[in-house]
Amino acid sequence: MSLLTLFGACAVTIMLISYALEKRSTWWVLVFALACGASSLYGWLAGTWPFGVVEGVWALVALRRWWVVRSTHRSEQMLPGT
């Protein structure tokens, strides 16, 4: 198994684990976004640019989702009486 294949397998495995754990913490959403970015990089390095493009888009979507969830979570913590 090449290092590139190992990198891709690790990226996708981390994506799967972090996706399953997203409800536990906003940090898992960020880990998912970063893993999507790593998976996109794998796609580009492996020469499968459509995979790289799609995973790159997923990384951006997940980063935005992390930002929104984090902002919502912070504003709920600032409410008086909570």
Domain extents in the chain = 3-66
Residues 6+ apart with CB under 8 A from 37: 55, 56, 59
Identify the band that residue 74 occupies on the pLDDT scale cut at 50, 70 and 90: confident
pLDDT per position as a tens digit, 44-72:
999 999 999 999 999 999 999 999 998 88
With a cut of 80, say whether residue 26 has pLDDT above it: yes
Q: What is the mean pLDDT of the chain?
A: 92
Please return the burial class of 23, using the count of CB atoms within 10 Å of its CB with bins 0-12, 13-18 and 19+.
exposed
* Element of type H or E holding 2: none
Q: How far apart are CA 24 and CA 18, in angstroms?
A: 10
pTM above 0.95, yes or no: no
Eight-state DSSP code of residue 79:
S
